[in-house]
Amino acid sequence: MENKELICIGCPMGCAMTACMEGGEVVSVSGNTCIRGERYARKELTDPTRIVTSSVRVRGGRIPMVSVKTREDIPKNKIFECMEKIRTVTVDAPICEGAVLVHDIAGTGADLIATKSVEKA
Protein backbone atom coordinates (compact mmCIF):
# COMPACT_ATOMS: atom_id res chain seq x y z
CA MET A 1 0.00 0.00 0.00
CA GLU A 2 1.16 3.51 -0.86
CA ASN A 3 -0.41 6.84 0.06
CA LYS A 4 -0.56 9.70 -2.47
CA GLU A 5 -1.35 13.26 -1.40
CA LEU A 6 -3.18 15.52 -3.82
CA ILE A 7 -5.26 18.69 -3.89
CA CYS A 8 -8.66 18.63 -5.56
CA ILE A 9 -9.02 21.23 -8.31
CA GLY A 10 -12.79 20.84 -8.58
CA CYS A 11 -13.62 24.09 -6.73
CA PRO A 12 -11.92 26.87 -4.75
CA MET A 13 -12.05 24.86 -1.48
CA GLY A 14 -9.05 22.87 -2.73
CA CYS A 15 -9.57 19.88 -0.43
CA ALA A 16 -6.35 18.10 0.56
CA MET A 17 -6.89 14.42 -0.16
CA THR A 18 -5.04 11.20 0.50
CA ALA A 19 -5.43 8.29 -1.88
CA CYS A 20 -4.40 4.81 -0.88
CA MET A 21 -2.91 2.91 -3.86
CA GLU A 22 -2.16 -0.75 -4.33
CA GLY A 23 -0.88 -2.34 -7.52
CA GLY A 24 -1.58 0.81 -9.52
CA GLU A 25 -5.21 0.87 -8.37
CA VAL A 26 -6.84 3.44 -6.10
CA VAL A 27 -8.17 1.55 -3.09
CA SER A 28 -9.61 4.49 -1.15
CA VAL A 29 -9.72 8.29 -1.10
CA SER A 30 -10.09 10.46 2.01
CA GLY A 31 -10.13 14.18 2.73
CA ASN A 32 -12.56 15.04 -0.06
CA THR A 33 -15.68 17.00 0.88
CA CYS A 34 -17.76 15.76 -2.05
CA ILE A 35 -17.82 12.96 -4.63
CA ARG A 36 -16.13 15.14 -7.27
CA GLY A 37 -12.93 14.99 -5.25
CA GLU A 38 -12.90 11.21 -5.22
CA ARG A 39 -13.58 11.11 -8.98
CA TYR A 40 -10.78 13.58 -9.60
CA ALA A 41 -8.32 11.64 -7.44
CA ARG A 42 -9.09 8.33 -9.13
CA LYS A 43 -8.72 9.80 -12.61
CA GLU A 44 -5.65 11.87 -11.79
CA LEU A 45 -3.83 8.86 -10.37
CA THR A 46 -4.77 6.34 -13.07
CA ASP A 47 -5.53 8.31 -16.27
CA PRO A 48 -4.41 11.95 -15.91
CA THR A 49 -5.58 14.28 -18.69
CA ARG A 50 -5.62 18.04 -19.30
CA ILE A 51 -7.03 20.63 -21.67
CA VAL A 52 -4.02 22.38 -23.23
CA THR A 53 -4.20 26.15 -23.72
CA SER A 54 -1.66 28.21 -25.61
CA SER A 55 -1.40 30.56 -28.59
CA VAL A 56 -0.24 30.26 -32.20
CA ARG A 57 1.21 32.73 -34.69
CA VAL A 58 -1.10 34.54 -37.10
CA ARG A 59 -0.05 35.75 -40.56
CA GLY A 60 -1.79 38.85 -41.89
CA GLY A 61 -3.94 39.47 -38.84
CA ARG A 62 -4.74 42.55 -36.75
CA ILE A 63 -2.92 40.82 -33.89
CA PRO A 64 0.11 38.53 -34.23
CA MET A 65 -1.13 35.61 -32.11
CA VAL A 66 -4.41 33.81 -31.48
CA SER A 67 -5.31 31.95 -28.30
CA VAL A 68 -6.02 28.25 -28.74
CA LYS A 69 -6.98 25.18 -26.75
CA THR A 70 -7.52 21.49 -27.29
CA ARG A 71 -11.20 20.77 -27.74
CA GLU A 72 -10.99 17.88 -25.27
CA ASP A 73 -8.66 16.71 -22.52
CA ILE A 74 -5.54 14.99 -23.78
CA PRO A 75 -3.31 12.53 -21.91
CA LYS A 76 -0.90 14.36 -19.62
CA ASN A 77 2.06 12.51 -21.17
CA LYS A 78 1.18 14.03 -24.58
CA ILE A 79 1.28 17.67 -23.43
CA PHE A 80 4.94 18.23 -24.33
CA GLU A 81 4.46 16.80 -27.84
CA CYS A 82 1.33 18.91 -28.25
CA MET A 83 3.18 22.10 -27.23
CA GLU A 84 6.01 21.27 -29.63
CA LYS A 85 3.49 21.00 -32.47
CA ILE A 86 1.75 24.25 -31.43
CA ARG A 87 5.09 26.07 -31.62
CA THR A 88 5.40 25.14 -35.32
CA VAL A 89 1.93 26.32 -36.35
CA THR A 90 1.22 29.58 -38.21
CA VAL A 91 -2.31 30.31 -39.42
CA ASP A 92 -3.63 32.88 -41.87
CA ALA A 93 -6.14 35.55 -40.85
CA PRO A 94 -9.09 35.81 -40.73
CA ILE A 95 -9.73 33.25 -38.01
CA CYS A 96 -13.12 32.57 -36.46
CA GLU A 97 -13.52 31.63 -32.82
CA GLY A 98 -13.99 27.87 -32.64
CA ALA A 99 -12.23 27.17 -35.94
CA VAL A 100 -10.18 23.98 -36.03
CA LEU A 101 -6.55 24.98 -36.57
CA VAL A 102 -4.98 21.51 -36.21
CA HIS A 103 -6.83 18.20 -36.51
CA ASP A 104 -5.85 15.39 -34.14
CA ILE A 105 -2.97 17.28 -32.60
CA ALA A 106 -0.02 15.04 -31.68
CA GLY A 107 -2.14 11.98 -32.44
CA THR A 108 -4.32 12.59 -29.39
CA GLY A 109 -7.61 12.52 -31.28
CA ALA A 110 -8.31 16.08 -30.06
CA ASP A 111 -8.49 19.07 -32.38
CA LEU A 112 -6.75 22.37 -31.61
CA ILE A 113 -9.28 25.19 -31.87
CA ALA A 114 -9.11 29.00 -31.80
CA THR A 115 -10.65 30.56 -28.70
CA LYS A 116 -11.01 34.02 -30.25
CA SER A 117 -11.50 35.56 -33.67
CA VAL A 118 -8.78 37.47 -35.50
CA GLU A 119 -9.64 39.81 -38.36
CA LYS A 120 -7.39 40.52 -41.32
CA ALA A 121 -5.04 43.46 -40.92
Q: Which residue is nearest to ligand SF4 (CB)?
A: 37
CA distance 6 to 107: 29
Give the shortest CB-16-to-ligand SF4 separation in angstroms: 9
Q: Which is nearer to ligand SF4, 12 or 23 (CB)?
A: 12
* Least spacing, CB of residue 8 vs ligand SF4, in Å: 3
Shortest distance, position 50 Cβ to ligand SF4, whole Å: 17
Nearer of residues 46 and 87 to ligand SF4, judged by Cβ: 46
Minimum CB separation of residue 53 from ligand SF4 in Å reads 21
The CA–CA distances, whole Å, from 59 to 22, 63, 91, 121 equal 51, 9, 6, 9
Q: State which residue, 29 or 95, has the beta carbon closest to ligand SF4.
A: 29
Which residues make up the interface to ligand SF4 (CB under 6 A)?
A: 8, 10-11, 13-15, 32-34, 36-37
Q: What are the Cα distances from residue 120, in Å, to 61, 78, 110, 113?
A: 4, 32, 27, 18
> Could you write out the DSSP letters of every residue in 91-120?
EESPB-TT-EEESSGGGSSPPEEESS-B-B
Q: Which is nearer to ligand SF4, 19 or 91 (CB)?
A: 19
3-state secondary structure of 36: helix
